[in-house]
Structures are given as C-alpha cells and as structure tokens.
Amino acid sequence: MDPIRVMVVDDSVVVRKIVTDVLSEDPAIEVVGTAINGRIALGKLAQLEPDLLTMDIEMPEMNGIEAVRAIRAGVGGSRRSRVPVIMFSTLTERGAAATLDALSSGANDYVTKPANVGSVAQSMESVRAQLIPKIKALTGRPAGSARVAAPPPAPVRPPAPRSGAVKQPAVLVIGSSTGGPEALAKVLPVLPASLPVPVLLVQHMPPVFTRQFAQRLDRLCPLRVVEAVDGTPLAPGTVHLAPGDHHLTVRSTGRGLQTALDQRPPENFCRPAVDPLFRSAVDAYDGAVLGVVLTGMGSDGRIGAGAVREAGGAVVVQDQATSVVWGMPGVVASAGLADEVLPLERIPEAISRRLGAARATASVPATAGGRR
C-alpha cells in the first residue's frame, strides 16, 4: 500500500511549495524530495528512488530538457532511466517550443503553470486539477487505489459482429492525448504523400502548443500538416490538427466538405475532443471513416469509435505495451470497438492498407521523408 513517490524539481521556491503542498494533500502521493535544478535532481535519483518527477524547464546549471535527456541516457542510475517525467511549462510560444523539445527528449507529459490567477489558492487548484490525474495515470494508479504497480493487462474484447461489409474509408480521423506527440511523430512521417484521403487530428493540447506542434509535424512529414482553420476544403494529402481550445469537426456545404471549428462545451473534460470529430466525420462521410485512437488518458474517443463502427467504418487502436497510458485506446478495445489492436510501429501499415495507399515504409528516420 505504498504511496506514489514524487520528486519536485524547480528553481522557484514558490512553485516548489505550491506543488509540494498540493501533492501532499493526496494520501496516495508522497513528496520524497525536491531539487532546484536538473543536476541536483540527477544526484538524488538513486538515493530517493522516486516513482515520478515533476520538472521545470528553465533552471540554472542544468535545465529540464537537459535533465530529461540525461535521465533517459541512464545518468543517475540505469534503474531510474525510465522514471516518468512531467514537465512544468508556461503557456507561451517559448514555453510551448521548449515543452515539445522535452517531450521529444523523453518526457512523458506536461502541465502548464498557473498564469494570471489572483491567489495562491487558485494556483493550487490549477496545479491540483492538472497534475494529480496525470501522476496517477503515468504510475499505473487506478482512481481511488492506494497501490503503485503496473496495471494488469486490460481485457481486449473481440470486435462486435458487423451486419455488412466495412466501407472503404474516405477520411482518416485520429485522436491522441498523453504520449501522443511522440506517437504521432512516429506514425505520420511514415505515411506517404500519396495518401488518398484527408486527415483530421485531435491531440489534447492548449492553444499555442498546437500551432507549434503542427509546424514540427509538417517539417517531418511527406504529408502537409497545418493547424486547422475554419472553412478549409478537405482534400487528400493534408493533415488538419485541431487548434487548442476549439473542437474540430467536418461541415457539409454546397461547395463540399470543410473543416469547422467551434467552442461548444468540452466533452470528456476536453476541448478539442476526439468524440465530436469522429461523430461529425461519420455524418459527413456516411460512415466511410477510418478512426485511429492512440495513447492517452481518459475515455475520449470511445463514443466516437462506436459511431464509426456502427456506420460501417473501421477503428484501429494502439496496444497497451506501446502506449504511455492505455486509457483512450484501452476503453475502445475493452468495449469491443477496435477492428485492430496494434503496436505503434504497425499502425502506419494498417492505415495504408485500409486506405489502399502506397505501402508504408517499415521505419523512417525522424528527419527523413519530410518536405523541405
């Protein structure tokens, strides 16, 4: 019945106190130590043996990105090289760029620092709402449990029987969350520029982050990747990424199908959310949809995946072994709504096969295949 052991790494006394106080209120979490920079954190890893680190980005001597790279390289003890790391980021262009660098260096997730809040109590509530669920998800802690352990393999139900044939997909829709940036950076660059359908993508991210993320993916991919704007005609070869704080859906018009953005209430506590995108694609394309659900916490995408299969589309999800958090793909698989449950490296081939696209390459280096 051991609590989750957390080390808080931040050069700000105020932030260290806020985070420590918030985490200490939860009986399932124990703050076992703090550090004012990455170098000191590395020195404490073997001694404290934390189950997870929260890591500031900008710190003296060794910043958070350098610390993540060192941890993943085994500095501080190879036994701790895979310890989950959650970055603390600012909601700015610079903060977004640094956070994406940290994720590509091996960080697991991030939270944004409270900004423009009027009191310490509000700051604490912001940290509590963002951070504690992610700590528990990344350490395999079921809600309400007092046990730290890897979760047992979740049951995968065989897909429900179909009343008719699977429709040839006319659109690809993808949903992801925790661990999604790195998963997408491995899937999308392997898809050919000749992909015969448009692609719409929801990655749970705030504003500013989505713009930077779209630009990064665009540099890596043969496909064109853009942050979605309202009213863009849908055409093959372009990936539309939902902008932060906006739902992305498909709109039917007299001139054809277009992207649509709105700020209706969050679904599954998320905006953008996966379910509205999947449902709208089913309506607009009469069920001729291929839905893909990648790593992420929560259950966003389950209802949408059900709509896709019921209308004659197909659903592919990432397996538990390769997911950072098997929440979103896990609920789809356990509900019997997944046509295929695959490791991440096999998902590009499944997409190309189901779309009838040119055969995807087995693997593509991170900088290869992109458009110059």
Q: Which is catalytic among the residues 89, 126, 176, 177? A: 177
What's the confidence (pLDDT) of residue 227?
A: 98
Residue 196 located in a structural domain: yes
- Model confidence at 152, pLDDT cuts 50, 70, 90, reads low
For residues 192 and 339, state if they share a domain: yes
List phi, psi (to 5°) of 310.
-65, -30
What's the confidence (pLDDT) of residue 143?
A: 43
For residues 109 and 194, state if they share a domain: no
- Model confidence at 357, pLDDT cuts 50, 70, 90, reads low
- Model confidence at 150, pLDDT cuts 50, 70, 90, reads very low
What's the confidence (pLDDT) of residue 365?
A: 39
What's the confidence (pLDDT) of residue 237?
A: 93
pLDDT in tens, 275-303: 999 999 999 999 999 999 999 999 999 99
Q: Quick check: 358 pLDDT over 80?
A: no
For residues 121 and 200, state if they share a domain: no
Mean pLDDT of 47-62: 95
What's the confidence (pLDDT) of residue 162?
A: 81
Q: Quick check: 148 pLDDT over 50?
A: no
For residues 263 and 187, state if they share a domain: yes
Residue 177 bears catalytic tag: yes
- Beta-carbon contacts of 150 under 8 Å, excluding residues fewer than 6 positions away, are 140
Mean pLDDT of 353-359: 74
> In this structure, are residues 341 and 333 in contact, taking their beta carbons and an 8 Å threshold?
yes
Q: Quick check: 361 pLDDT over 60?
A: no
Domain with residue 206: its CATH number is 3.40.50.180
Residue 153 located in a structural domain: no
What's the confidence (pLDDT) of residue 33?
A: 97
Residue 155 located in a structural domain: no
List phi, psi (to 5°) of 202.
-115, 120
12-21, 112-121, 154-163, 357-366: segment of lowest average pLDDT:
357-366
For residues 43 and 114, state if they share a domain: yes
For residues 128 and 275, state if they share a domain: no
For residues 224 and 120, state if they share a domain: no
- Model confidence at 368, pLDDT cuts 50, 70, 90, reads very low
What is the distance between the alpha carbons of residues 258 and 235, in angstroms, rounded to a whole number? 9
Q: Label residue 46 left, alpha or beta by phi (over 0 means left) and psi (-120 to 50 means alpha).
A: alpha
| Count of structural domains within the chain | 2
User: Residue 170 has which token pair?
Assistant: 């006319």
Burial class (CB in 10 A: 0-12, 13-18, 19+), 245: middle
For residues 200 and 347, state if they share a domain: yes
Residue 343 located in a structural domain: yes
| Last-in-domain residue among 138, 153, 183 | 138
Q: Quick check: 128 pLDDT over 80?
A: yes
Which of 266, 302, 304, 299 has the alpha carbon at shortest distance from 282? 304
> In this structure, are residues 243 and 207 in contact, taking their beta carbons and an 8 Å threshold?
yes
49-63, 88-102, 353-367: segment of lowest average pLDDT:
353-367
Residue 360 located in a structural domain: no
Domain with residue 17: its CATH number is 3.40.50.2300
Mean pLDDT of 326-341: 96
For residues 134 and 175, state if they share a domain: no
Q: Which is catalytic among the residues 56, 109, 218, 300? A: 300
For residues 69 and 201, state if they share a domain: no
Higher pLDDT, 92 or 141: 92
Residue 161 located in a structural domain: no
What is the distance between the alpha carbons of residues 189 and 369, in angstroms, rounded to a whole number? 6
126-135, 146-155, 220-229, 246-255: segment of lowest average pLDDT:
146-155
Mean pLDDT of 346-357: 93
Residue 159 located in a structural domain: no
Longest dimension (CA), the chain: 65
Residue 246 bears catalytic tag: no
Higher pLDDT, 12 or 141: 12
Q: Look up the domain containing 115 and give its range.
A: 4-138
Mean pLDDT of 173-188: 97
What's the confidence (pLDDT) of residue 165?
A: 86
Q: Which is catalytic among the residues 10, 123, 176, 204? A: 204
For residues 351 and 228, state if they share a domain: yes
pLDDT in tens, 91-112: 888 899 999 999 999 999 999 8
Residue 300 bears catalytic tag: yes
Residue corresponding to tokens 């990105």: 65
Residue 156 located in a structural domain: no
The overall pTM is greater than 0.85: yes
For residues 215 and 296, state if they share a domain: yes
